[in-house]
A and B are shown apart, each in its own frame.
Chain A
Amino acid sequence: MSKFKKSTGKEVGAINTASLPDIVFMLLFFFMTVTVLREVELKINVALPEATEGKKLEKKSLASFIYIGTPVEQLQATFGTEPKIQLNDTFKEVPDIQEFIAQERDALDEADQSKMLVSLKIDRTTKMGVVIDVKQALRQANALKIMYANNPVDVITQY
């Protein structure tokens, strides 16, 4: 009698997958709650500058975004390589900012309008001239709470 008997072929039972949908739904709800829908399609290159003192944006719903940077490669033929301002999905000029701010403010609840914040997402290589113009326009539009968006880092390595 051999010691190494072939194990009597005990069939592996089918795994019960009934709870699989529950698990996947749980994951789904997790991602639905912690993430936000992508708002705009960027038509410009924005490489944010580095900073160590950045504070987290607490309420994204109160924030409006202004993007400044050079147009992406596909659009450079039509729009050139000078820095452009993007509001929502289109290129705009500095005078359009007042109207944009008014629109964004109207979209908020009345109670939240004073808490409105404008996040400036500006490419690191941009010259301050256009930024200064935008800031002056924001002052005129009375949108005084602003945020210079940045990449959080521990130590600034390039500027």
Chain B
Amino acid sequence: MAKRAIQPINAGSMADIAFLLLIFFLVTTTMDSDTGLLRLLPPPPDPNQETPESQINDRNILEVKVNLDDLLLVEGELARLEELRDITKEFILNPTDDQGMSEKEMKTIPFFGDVMATKAVISLQNDRGTTYSVYIAVQNELLAARDELKNDLAINTWGIGYYELDEEKQKAVDDYYFVPISEAEPKRVGGR
């Protein structure tokens, strides 16, 4: 049987098909990367267990309250959102050993040895009428205060920022500034 010569396939429209697919994917997909504030909720309360009385010394708690008019109360005093970061940092560091600010305790942390670490706890309370964006802004400032302290410590110790450190060193820094941000059970603050 005579061999038939294979005709070359016309690939001219290949580009058109590929373009069509490309445009389809461009339209149906999103490229926006999701960012957000990571938080951990407390586990659900155990009904069989009575809530233990808070063992934390009052001076170690930084009380932050937001009312339904989105006003901020820090340690019983009216504050502006712009001030919150510095207030929080000062409260955690307590450079002058003020009786009204957080205590420190001896802790043994890898890389640092025996250090006086803070015992501060931040308590955040908000009203059901608080606006979400204000709540996020407050959370953001509190997280920023803690992250800035961690970053400063990393730069002072190793000369590089917190996020460039390896996991073990990050953990050590986390240990140094272990400042939980606790959210109290919701209640009405300054309701009408």
Partners in one complex: yes
Residue positions of A touching B, CB distance < 8 A: 17-18, 20-21, 24-25, 27-28, 31-32, 34-38, 49-57, 60, 63, 119-120, 122-129, 131-132, 135-136, 138-140, 142-152, 156, 158-159
Q: What residues of chain B lie closer than 8 Å to A25, measured between beta carbons?
A: 18
B14 at the interface (CB under 8 A from A): yes
Q: What residues of chain B lie closer than 8 Å to A138, measured between beta carbons?
A: 41
* Pair A128/B131 contact, Cβ less than 8 Å: yes
CB distance from A133 to the nearest CB of B (A): 9
Bound-state Cα–Cα, A102 to B129, Å? 29
Task: Mark out the residues of chain B between 133 and 188 whose CB falls within 8 Å of any chain A CB in the assembled complex.
Answer: 133-137, 139-140, 143-144, 147, 186
Chain A contact residues, majority secondary structure? mixed
With A21-B11, A146-B39 as known contacts, state yes or no: A63 contacts B34, CB within 8 Å. yes
* Pair A125/B132 contact, Cβ less than 8 Å: yes
With A17-B15, A51-B140 as known contacts, state yes or no: A123 contacts B132, CB within 8 Å. yes
Task: Provide a sorted-by-A list of 8 A–B residue pairs whose CB atoms are within 8 angstroms.
Answer: A20-B14, A25-B18, A51-B37, A51-B136, A55-B35, A145-B38, A148-B36, A152-B35
* Pair A57/B36 contact, Cβ less than 8 Å: yes
Q: What residues of chain A lie closer than 8 Å to B36, measured between beta carbons?
A: 51, 54-55, 57, 119-120, 147-150
* Pair B136/A147 contact, Cβ less than 8 Å: no
Q: What residues of chain A lie closer than 8 Å to B12, measured between beta carbons?
A: 17
Interface size on B, residues (CB 8 A): 46
Q: What residues of chain A lie closer than 8 Å to B81, measured between beta carbons?
A: 159
* Pair A27/B28 contact, Cβ less than 8 Å: no
CB distance from A50 to the nearest CB of B (A): 7
Q: What residues of chain A lie closer than 8 Å to B133, measured between beta carbons?
A: 49-50, 124-125, 158-159
Chain A binder among B19-27, B54-62, B103-111, B115-123: B19-27
Residue positions of B touching A, CB distance < 8 A: 11-12, 14-15, 17-19, 21-22, 25-26, 28-31, 33-44, 81, 126-137, 139-140, 143-144, 147, 186
Q: What residues of chain B lie closer than 8 Å to A145, measured between beta carbons?
A: 38, 40-41
Q: What residues of chain A lie closer than 8 Å to B136, measured between beta carbons?
A: 49-51, 124, 148, 150, 159
* Pair B14/A21 contact, Cβ less than 8 Å: yes
Q: What residues of chain B lie closer than 8 Å to A57, measured between beta carbons?
A: 33-36
Nearest 3 interchain pairs by C-beta: A35-B29, A129-B128, A54-B35
Q: What residues of chain A lie closer than 8 Å to B15, measured between beta carbons?
A: 17, 20-21, 24
CB distance from A86 to the nearest CB of B (A): 15
Q: What residues of chain A lie closer than 8 Å to B128, measured between beta carbons?
A: 127-129, 132
* Pair A128/B127 contact, Cβ less than 8 Å: yes
Q: What residues of chain A lie closer than 8 Å to B34, measured between beta carbons?
A: 56-57, 60, 63, 119, 147, 149
Bound-state Cα–Cα, A38 to B30, Å? 6
Q: What residues of chain B lie closer than 8 Å to A35, measured between beta carbons?
A: 25, 29-31
* Pair B44/A142 contact, Cβ less than 8 Å: yes
* Pair A149/B131 contact, Cβ less than 8 Å: no
CB distance from B92 to the nearest CB of A (A): 16
Bound-state Cα–Cα, A129 to B30, Å? 31
